[in-house]
Amino acid sequence: MALDSYAIGIDLGTANTCVGVYLDGRVEIIPHEGRSSMPSYVAFTETGRLIGAAAKSQVGINPKNTVFDALRLIGRRYSDAEVQADMKHFPFQVLEKKGKPVISVEYRGNTRHLTPEEILSMILSRAKKDAEIYLGSTIMGAVITVPSYFNSSQRQAIRDAALISELPVLLLINGPTAACSDYVITRRFEGERNVLVADFGAGTFNVVLASFEEGILEVKSTASDLHLGGEDYDNRMVNHFVNEIKRKTKKDLTVNRRALRRLRTACEAAKCELSSRKQTQIEIDSLYDEFDFTSTITRAWFEELCQDLFRSHLDPVERVLRDAKMDKSSVHHVIVIGGSSRIPKLQTLLSYYWGGKELSKFLNPDETVARGAAIHAAIMSGYNSKSSNLDEFLLLDVAPFSLGIETAAGCMTPIIKRNSTIPIRKSVVVSTYEDNQTSFLVSAFEGERALTKYNIPLGEFSIQVSPAPRGVPQIEITFDCDRHDNKWVTAAERGTEKGKIYLRYFDRLSPEEIERMKVEARIYDAVDKAEAERVSARNALESHVYSVKRDVSSSDPRNASILRVATLADILLRWLDENQSAQASEYLLRLTGLREVAASITSESIDTDTTKVEAVERVQMPVQPIQAPPSQPLKKPPPSADTGADANSAPINVTFSAGNWQKTFKDST
């Protein structure tokens, strides 16, 4: 069934982004350059911008301008410990701007400061473009998955990134919840099924417990450990080898950052190999001072190194069971996803916890989150075809964090508790704590800590109360949370006017900033398109020159006009070699000239044809000294973007196959 416009599911990951679409009762993964997922990389170069596989493949030659891990920075403050720690590993530069991290890159000769929102918007718009090309249709919106530990600020930042890329967000859901949806939909279970999803990420460990019956997937509880993941195992192995080297050679590797980074890369590879082999070798040539490092590590030794880390995975598992008031014996399916789910020890650990239970492994743990997101995209867009079983499927999601107010002495009093099914509305009645108080301040916070100063402020306002002894006025405070985790709070003394605010994190991008970034995003796209056209025009000229040369080489070299064409081809070839980065229009001018000259000969017209002579002169005419296209300060669309239109009037159409994309570009403006 073909639709005019599709809704897609996007698993926006730290390392990779995967896109799915629900078509005729099943999910298809949308390819990115022939692969099932796109590296979450954006690179900036002298000539333009690269997104996805092309960006990742050139990271070695352009490390300072290749941005990855933007998901680790988004929605955070520059001063956050996580940001400061991550910055030490990033080859690109992170600066502070209004308290938030921005990434500094060189783009077409200019320094640009980009927010993590802008980087992710580029990845999202590429995902959208890949989907548009694959489906041959426009994209109406997307369900995007986020890590389950993301707070309101981080979730809002993802929404802002989508706004910049002009991709409507139908829903944000947690990654493990999407995987769970994929599982129950694909398996078509009858009767009640309790499903636990354990998501072993690179930096964090997330668990979701949900119950499925009569088509309803009800999330019961979620838990996370924010500092437990694949990178922690790498660290253990790195430390092990650093100590070994110190013992054997008396060298301290920790002072040599480059050596340490190379050791870390080797350890990560060794860890992955140990999932399928019992032992592996680590070999690093000239690790430092021409010292070649070689060592062996066994799976057993690796497991010993990480034993305590592995065991702490059980804490969040126990927490979700406790929060859901469920016994472990009532869990029917245990699903493991994420890179580290391949570690045999972690699988047996969970299996033993359930008394030897077999874990439910997906055929493809890398795609399941995108599949789940695609299912929800189909539901949210109202595409519930009769043949599908989505009509009778509903996800009851929960609030990821407790929502509450500050009470006396900076205490956090939760009103909507975490893991409450949303939408939800809850009221409490509170009172004053001083005599004759005339105003009452309502400060709303999000988080689980007992003191509000450790939680995230969402907004505050004050209301009037009639003076009375403390504890007498009755103030009703109501929290309202909708399907999309939008929150409002109302407060009033009983029997008076209500005060009300929409709660959002204070540090969000302003509408003006988003508008500006939207405009800039269009300019980035226009520059990319112009660059693609330029390369395409260059290729068209080059291949035509070679084809002309081939033709004349088999003709009579004494014929004056053939000789002239051959000479012209040689001149153009040399010109091409010297002008790798000329404008598209310059290539097209020469292409037109060459075609005219060549055509006049093949049609055996008379030598003295004036038009032909003119054409030859035009082609041979030295053009002004060629320089690289001037780098555009991002204020107006570059002139080279306009030459794309000229290209259409040229004898051959060298416009890059951007027709489809052009159309949607207009649609979305």
Partner 1 sequence: MPPASEDIADEPPSFINPYEILGVEKNATADEIKSAYRKQALRNHPDKVSAKDKEGAHESFQRIAFAYAILSDERRRRRYDTTGRTEESLDLEDDDFNWIDFYREQWRDVITEE
Positions in the binding site for partner 1 (CB under 8 A): 171, 213-216, 379-380, 382, 392, 394-396, 415, 421, 423-429, 478, 480, 482-483, 486, 488, 490, 498, 500, 502
Cβ neighbours, 10 Å, residue 628: 14
Residue 533 to residue 527: CA distance in whole angstroms: 10
Nearer to partner 1, 131 or 217 (CB): 217
Q: How far is the CB of 213 from partner 1 (least distance, A)?
A: 7
Q: How far is the CB of 502 from partner 1 (least distance, A)?
A: 5
HSE, side-chain direction, 13 A CA sphere, residue 347 = 16
Burial of 550 from C-beta contacts in 10 A (0-12 / 13-18 / 19+): exposed
Nearer to partner 1, 308 or 497 (CB): 497
Nearer to partner 1, 15 or 424 (CB): 424
Tokens of 45: 């170069």
Q: How far is the CB of 72 from partner 1 (least distance, A)?
A: 30
Characterize the bridge pairing of strands 205-213 and 193-200: antiparallel
| Amino acid found at 328 | K
Nearer to partner 1, 143 or 616 (CB): 143
Nearer to partner 1, 268 or 460 (CB): 460
Nearer to partner 1, 353 or 488 (CB): 488
Nearer to partner 1, 501 or 628 (CB): 501
Helix axes 560-578, 511-553, angle to 10 degrees: 150
Place of tokens 């996007």: 10
Nearer to partner 1, 114 or 430 (CB): 430
Nearer to partner 1, 171 or 369 (CB): 171
Are the C-beta atoms of residues 30 and 131 closer than 8 Å to each other? yes
Q: Which residues contact 463 (CB under 8 A, 6 or more apart)?
A: 439, 440, 442, 475, 491, 492, 493, 498, 499
The residues with which 461 forms a beta bridge, in sequence order, are: 442
Characterize the bridge pairing of strands 38-39 and 42-44: unpaired
Q: How far is the CB of 27 from partner 1 (least distance, A)?
A: 18
Tokens of 380: 């949210």
Q: How far is the CB of 154 from partner 1 (least distance, A)?
A: 21
Q: How far is the CB of 426 from partner 1 (least distance, A)?
A: 6
Characterize the bridge pairing of strands 93-97 and 100-107: antiparallel
Nearer to partner 1, 143 or 369 (CB): 143
Nearer to partner 1, 163 or 527 (CB): 163
Residue 138 to residue 122: CA distance in whole angstroms: 17
Residue 232 to residue 225: CA distance in whole angstroms: 12
Residue 169 to residue 279: CA distance in whole angstroms: 46
Q: How far is the CB of 300 from partner 1 (least distance, A)?
A: 46
Nearer to partner 1, 348 or 384 (CB): 384
**Would you give the distance in Å from CA 585 to the centre of its chain?**
35
Residue 651 to residue 598: CA distance in whole angstroms: 13
Tokens of 126: 């590429």
Helix (H/G/I), strand (E/B), else coil: 135? helix
Q: Convert 167-202 to b/e letters by CB count within 10 Å (16 or more is b).
A: bebbbbbbbbbbbbbbbbbbeebeeebbbbbbbbbb
Nearer to partner 1, 356 or 495 (CB): 495
Nearest Cα neighbor of 297 from 275, 271, 276 is 271
Nearer to partner 1, 150 or 393 (CB): 393
Are the C-beta atoms of residues 242 and 287 closer than 8 Å to each other? no
**Would you give the distance in Å from CA 395 to the centre of its chain?**
24
Q: How far is the CB of 245 from partner 1 (least distance, A)?
A: 53
Tokens of 638: 């570059």
Characterize the bridge pairing of strands 138-146 and 169-174: parallel
Q: How far is the CB of 384 from partner 1 (least distance, A)?
A: 9
Nearer to partner 1, 352 or 502 (CB): 502
Residue 416 to residue 409: CA distance in whole angstroms: 20
Cβ neighbours, 10 Å, residue 449: 12
Residue 300 to residue 194: CA distance in whole angstroms: 33
Q: How far is the CB of 481 from partner 1 (least distance, A)?
A: 9
Q: How far is the CB of 336 from partner 1 (least distance, A)?
A: 27
Q: How far is the CB of 366 from partner 1 (least distance, A)?
A: 26
Nearer to partner 1, 73 or 162 (CB): 162
Q: How far is the CB of 485 from partner 1 (least distance, A)?
A: 12
Helix (H/G/I), strand (E/B), else coil: 195? strand
Q: How far is the CB of 447 from partner 1 (least distance, A)?
A: 17
Residue 175 to residue 155: CA distance in whole angstroms: 13
Using CA atoms, how far residue 49 sits from 53, 425, 561, in Å, is 12, 46, 44
Q: How far is the CB of 446 from partner 1 (least distance, A)?
A: 18
Q: How far is the CB of 429 from partner 1 (least distance, A)?
A: 5
Cβ neighbours, 10 Å, residue 110: 12
Are the C-beta atoms of residues 475 and 431 closer than 8 Å to each other? yes
